[in-house]
Structure 1
Amino acid sequence: MNVGLGLPITDPPSLLSWARRADAGPFSTLGLLDRLVYANPEPLVTLAVLAGATTRIRLQTEVLLGPLRETALLAKQTATLDLMSGGRFTLGVGVGGRPDDHVAAGTDIRTRGRRMDAQLTTLRRVWSGEPYGEGAGPIGPAPAREGGPEVLIGAFAPAALERVARWGDGFLCAAPLPMTDGLFRSVERSWSAAGRAARPRLVAQVNVALGPDDTIEDGRTAIGAYYRFLDDPGHVGLLTTPREIRAAVTAFTGLGADEVMLYCWARDPDQVDRLADVL
């Protein structure tokens, strides 16, 4: 079973320590979320820095808000990160549902789904070395992985889930365990109906904080601030004991997850070693 770590966002300079510790441990991936109108570090820039500080572990946006970005530049940035990291980059991508991000980016939140559909088509074309379009040739460099970095699509709505079969390599599910089985099976049905070979890669995500009381409280504060826009942010779960975390990894694996991302919200980098011991 592959288990990755989602990185906290409240202390960006500490992420170098997180990355080096995780690279030396049992973890498969480092993930980093994306917002625009928030105090999080920009994920592509940050993961590029972490790529240089690591040698083995994969690097993943979880998820990058594609419609906020200009497509040609995004194609170049992601191909460059994949190339410079030796093919260790995974583009987790979603539409973004918070109005202030779209206001700041100058994009229309009402058309974010259609915009991302067009982006995914263009990204695949650019990564394969084809010309960008009329009046513009190919955009390099070529990514390390033929055809471009792995693409995981984060989604909840049925129409958005169908994007996985059309453009993705797999599905990134940031839903609670009771919802995950239905979402996984929906993605698999769409995948089969689209005539895709093999099966989609399925990645689950669960929020964790492990350590003394101040670490757990720091995690609760951070996750509460991030999800304050929700009508009921209190329903966002946070696992805080080794038993809960082991049980979650086992349960998601039983549903068919190929990887479970333990998303950390507290800043304490000693959590890397604690979580390694849990595994």
Structure 2
Amino acid sequence: MKLGMTLPVMEPDVDRAMLEGWVRAIDQGPFSSLCFGERMAFDNPETLSLLGACAAWTDRVRLVTTIMIPQLHDPVMLAKSLATVDMLSQGRLTVGLGIGGRIEDYVAAGADPATRTHGELARRVDVMKRVWAGEKVVDAIKPVGPAPVQSGGPELLIGAQGPKATRMAAAWADGIAGFSFNMDMKDVEASFDQVRAAWAEAGRPAPRLTTSFWFALGDGARAQVQSHLRHYFNWIEPATLEAMLPVTGFAGSTAELRDVLRQIADLGADEVQLIPTSGDVEEVARVADLIG
């Protein structure tokens, strides 16, 4: 099983120096991927711009979106932007997609909240794949380019939850961008089994299985996770958030984290993508030491 690291893009006071330091540390470390997700009505960096910077700042790791929401973008423009990142990174792009959990992001992007469906997501993916295949999807003299380095376009993962959404995604996705709130191994196993079954039913190759979770290590780890979650979950009703805080994310020692990762590996995961709850770049070194 491989291990990826997420950029702390949802932390307060993100700037270029912080991001570049994290990106270069991840690329120079033992990690397989560098990940981050998309929000609109928040103080995080814009995803496509940051992907371009990460392509320039790295030489080795895969760049993974966890996740992007196609309905916040024109699908032809999004296809062109992602193909450009794939070209700049020399074929190191994986795109996790989903419908998102916040209506406010749709409103902020000028997108119709009624498009927040997995059917509409699939329709937009189809347009993007046609662009990447070199089809003329618009009335223009030439097709929309550039062509992606990866034949047929970047690897696509679905951030779906539930059997219906998973079965729909099996028609077009290469695997799943999973997530665990509390590292319940029975839930992770059930999710992986659900995905395997959906892909087999659709006659697709074995799916790529990834999952992720928030983490903090050492003294004060639980307080660190809770501080991060209070900032990130700014849209959740306070009582609901307070009930989540004691059990959401991993807070413990490096030995305990190693054991959690071993359990997920035993379930057949291809990759786990850790999500930091601090902007301190030393977090990268702490996990690198754990892997080493």
Same fold (TM > 0.5): yes
Q: How many residues align?
A: 277
Deviation, 1:132, is 1.1
2:147 maps to 142
2:48 matched to which residue of 1?
Answer: 44
Q: Could you say what secondary structure the match of 2:250 adopts?
A: coil
**Candidates 267, 270, 277, aligned match of 1:265:** 277
Alignment partner of 1:170 is 2:175 = yes
Partner Cα separation in structure 2 for residue 12 and residue 155 of structure 1:
31
Match of 1:237 in 2: 249
Structure-1 residue corresponding to 2:101: 97
Residues 1:66 and 2:74 are matched in the alignment: no
- Contact 1:220 1:238 (C-alpha < 8 Å) held by counterparts: no
Is the 1:82–1:143 Cα contact (8 Å) retained in structure 2? yes
- Structure 1 unaligned spans of 5+: none
Deviation, 1:54, is 1.1
1:246-261 equivalence runs, <5 A: 246-261=258-273
State yes or no: 1:8 paired with 2:8.
yes
Distance 2:76 2:287 in 1: 38
2:209 aligns with 202
Partner SS state of residue 217, structure 2: coil
In the alignment, what sits opposite 2:136? Answer: 131
| Aligned-partner Cα distance in 2 for 1:87–1:216 | 38
> 2: distance between equivalents of 1:69 and 1:212?
42
1:233-271 Cα distance to aligned partner (Å, 9 max, x none)? 324323342123212211111111100001112000011
SS of corresponding position for 2:116: helix
SS across alignment from 2:114: helix
Shift in alpha-carbon separation, 1:28–1:91, aligned structure 2, 3 A: same
Q: Match of 2:274, SS? A: strand
Residue of structure 2 in register with 1:183 after alignment: 191
Q: 1:275 aligns with which of 245, 263, 287?
A: 287
After superposing the two structures, state which structure 1 stretch, 6-15 or 225-234, moved more. Answer: 225-234
Provide the C-alpha distance between the structure 1 equivalents of 2:67 and 2:212, rounded to a whole number of angstroms.
11
Read off the aligned partner of 1:194 and give its amino acid letter.
Answer: A
SS at match of 1:47: helix
2: distance between equivalents of 1:241 and 1:163?
39
Paired residue type of 1:271: E
Indicate conservation of the 8 Å contact 1:203/1:258, yes or no. Answer: yes
Structure 1 residue identity aligned to 2:203: G
More deviation in 57-66 or 128-137? 128-137
CA RMSD of aligned residues (A): 1.8
Partner of 2:152: helix, strand, or coil? Answer: coil
Give the drift of 1:164.
3.2
Identity %: 36
| 2:188 alignment partner AA | T
**Aligned mates of 1:136, 1:208 — CA distance in 2:** 50
- One-letter identity of the residue aligned with 1:230: I
Task: For 2:126 and 2:77, locate their aligned partners in 1 and report how far apart those are by CA, in whole Å.
Answer: 14
TM-score normalized by structure 2?
0.89
